[in-house]
Chains A and B, each alone.
Chain A
Amino acid sequence: MSGTSEALQKEWDRFIEQENGKGKINGAVHDLTNRCWDTCIKSTSTNALDSKEKACLQNCVERFLDVTTHTIRRMQNSKP
């Protein structure tokens, strides 16, 4: 029976790991959406994104992640 509960434990740990991962992604998407909405969406005269707004959102996400990587690298290099 202990063999089975070890397998169940592994399955549970994997499930928690997956849900944690998904949760982190969701959290990041919430923050990015907030941030990029402020940057890219200036009016709600229509209820749909036009092509400029969509491109702006995509660029915003990519550039924000670029800045994040860059910032971390720079701070690691300048550690005393």
Chain B
Amino acid sequence: MDPFSSLEGNQSLKLDEGITAQNIEQVKQSVRQSIAMANAQELIRRVNDTCFKMSVPAPGSSFTRAEQDSVSRCVDKYLASWDVVAQTYVARLQREGK
């Protein structure tokens, strides 16, 4: 599920007459925080799925030290991969003038 799809509905949100610039700033901050949280949750979900598959291919009766270390390395590697993909993607968008 796209965690940002809930914003689409807000595009036609009409502000009340009494709204001040300060109100807007507060709401903006609040929206930014919600988005950051949703993004972090999505990242956790994907790292978890990926690293479970990669590091615990044969679930045993305990979470072994070797598996724990593998998960740790996997998390680091996945976050590094996310950064590389993000950089490459944004650079591409800029090149294509979007």
- Let me know if A11 and B4 touch, CB within 8 A: no
Interface of B is mostly: helix
Q: Number of residue pairs across A and B with beta carbons under 8 Å? A: 118
Measured between beta carbons, the chain A residues less than 8 angstroms from B14 are 9
Measured between beta carbons, the chain B residues less than 8 angstroms from A12 are 13, 15, 24
- Let me know if A58 and B84 touch, CB within 8 A: yes
A residues within 8 Å of B by Cβ?
1-2, 5, 8-9, 11-13, 15-17, 19-20, 22-30, 32-34, 36-37, 40-41, 43-49, 53-54, 57-58, 61-62, 65
Interface residues on B, range: 35 or more
- Let me know if B84 and A16 touch, CB within 8 A: no
Interface of A is mostly: helix
> Knowing A30-B43, A30-B46 touch, does A61 contact B88 (C-beta < 8 A)?
yes
